[in-house]
Structure 1
Amino acid sequence: MSQDLEKIEAFIEQHHVLTLATCDQECVSACSLFYAYDKEKKIFVVASSDDTLHIEQIQKNNRIAGNILLETKEIGKIQGLQFRGIFKQNNSKEFSHLYFKQFPYALALNPKLWNIEVDFFKLTDNRLGFGKKVIWP
């Protein structure tokens, strides 16, 4: 595994909420979702209901973008990850297990799970130098 990808995935492991951006021909939308992450397959697993705007938009356009960030006012500590990928319904017990292992209380809600298959990451990490970018692939 490349050192760049290791830095990106170390950042992902430190957090548990992502912002998802979706769009269709009429409007754009953003929402926050809890996630579990599979390093081997580069997949975020999230839960969401069919009756949300972002899922309605994904039914029309499953290309998404998103971010995860460390909220800080200290310039030297700013970190944030941008990503792009494809949003699909989860049909894997393996990914379901991963999600419920991280969020066991969600089992009681019986949520619908979805996968984000990531094809691009860009990590900004000012701890490595002001405005330093780490990009994968």
Structure 2
Amino acid sequence: METTAHNSIDERIVRFIGRHHVLTLATSDDEGLWCSNLFYAYDKTEGRFLFSSGDDTRHARQMRANPHIAASVVLETRLVGRVQGLQIAGTAEPADDAGRRIYLKRFPYAAVMELQLWQLRPSQLKLTDNTLGFGKKLIWKRL
């Protein structure tokens, strides 16, 4: 297990994030826990995930009530030696105009939609990557 505790995220984690486009978001409030699958764009400069979610969704209501969230991105495979998955902990908040530009660059068709963009600012990332060795984990924590 390699742990990095500084602002620079291991490039292997960044490459994994860039090869995917759907994350599973986990939110909670007094109603309980909820999971949602969402398209995301990754802002490498700011180290944040950008995603769209309407205000009327359960997970948006929960993010407003409790901004502490978790997420995961996974490579689906039946081959044990190819297993890769990213676990994320962080906070959610509405995204800014720069985030909107990044999201629309990745998903230009979303320009015709009424977007309510959010950002996930990670406080911790953990990539399990069996291509680096069985059970190999790369961990990053925000200082």
TM-score per shorter chain, which class?
A: over 0.9
Contact persistence 1:4–1:134 (CA under 8 A): no
Question: Residues of 2 paired with 1:3 and 1:79: CA distance?
Answer: 21
Pairwise CA RMSD of aligned residues? 1.5
Alpha-carbon distance, 1:26 to partner: 2.4
Aligned pair count reads 136
TM-score w.r.t. the length of structure 1 is 0.94
Query: Unpaired runs of 5+ in structure 1?
Result: none
Identity of aligned residues (%): 45
Contact persistence 1:46–1:115 (CA under 8 A): yes
Q: Which runs of 4+ in 1 moved over 2 A?
A: 1-4
User: Within 5 Å, which residues of 2 pair with 1:1-137?
Assistant: 5-90=10-95, 92-137=96-141
Higher helix share: 1
Question: Residues of 1 paired with 2:7 and 2:98: CA distance?
Answer: 25
Alpha-carbon distance, 1:40 to partner: 1.8
Alignment partner of 2:10: what SS? helix
TM-score w.r.t. the length of structure 2 is 0.91
Q: Deviations over 1:67-87 (max 9, x none)?
A: 000000000000000001110
Alignment partner of 1:110: what SS? coil
Kindly indicate whether structure 1 or structure 2 has the higher relative contact order, using CA contacts under 8 Å at least 6 residues apart.
2
Question: Residues of 2 paired with 1:11 and 1:3: CA distance?
Answer: 15
Question: Residues of 2 paired with 1:24 and 1:4: CA distance?
Answer: 30
Contact persistence 1:18–1:33 (CA under 8 A): yes
